[in-house]
Amino acid sequence: MTEFVLHPRLTADTTPVADWALSRVLLMNDARYPWLVLVPRRHDAVELFDLSGPDRRVLIEEVARAGRLLKGISGATKINVGALGNLVAQLHVHVVARHSGDPAWPGPVWGHGAAVPYAASARDALIAKIVAAG
């Protein structure tokens, strides 16, 4: 069993929030949308069907938990969930709080314009809220 190592692109684009039972939980450094990325700590998973059934059951619960939590914190209009991986193969699931009228609304956030980095204080405050609600 090879050790789990986060893909360098995910490391560069996010700040770690927590390790849940299966997933490393990351905050995307984009102040336009409250946006978590869940990365199952399985070094070789690319597709959902690469995970074991038990891992998938944990993952879907963690995705639901992340969505419920972001909805509660942000009052989102809709939670968007996506596992694309066209650029970064390592299996990761985006959970994004969308608001009617946000910069990409009603389209998807992926590939829409450039990220707007958080001020460190705003980022840390949001992470604290997520951890408290988590």
Q: How far is the CB of 123 from its own copies (least distance, A)?
A: 25
Instruction: Pick from 10, 18, 31, 48 the residue near its own copies by CB under 8 A.
Output: 48
C-alpha span between 107 and 122 (Å, rounded): 26
Q: Is 103 one of the binding residues for its own copies (CB under 8 A)?
A: no
- For 69, the 3-state DSSP assignment is helix
For residues 17-46, which are near its own copies according to CB under 8 A?
Answer: 46
Which DSSP state fits 108?
A: -
| Residue in the block written with tokens 């684009």 | 13
CB under 8 Å to 113, separation ≥6 — which residues? 32, 103, 104
Candidate ranges 27-35, 65-73, 116-124, 126-134; the one touching its own copies (CB under 8 A):
65-73
Residue closer to its own copies (CB basis): 24 or 55: 55
**Interface map 108-127 toward its own copies (x if CB under 8 A):** x-xx----------------
Instruction: Figure out which of the listed residues 10, 15, 85, 127 binds its own copies, where binding follows CB under 8 A.
Output: 85
- Asked if residue 40 has a cis previous peptide bond (ω within 30° of 0), the answer is no
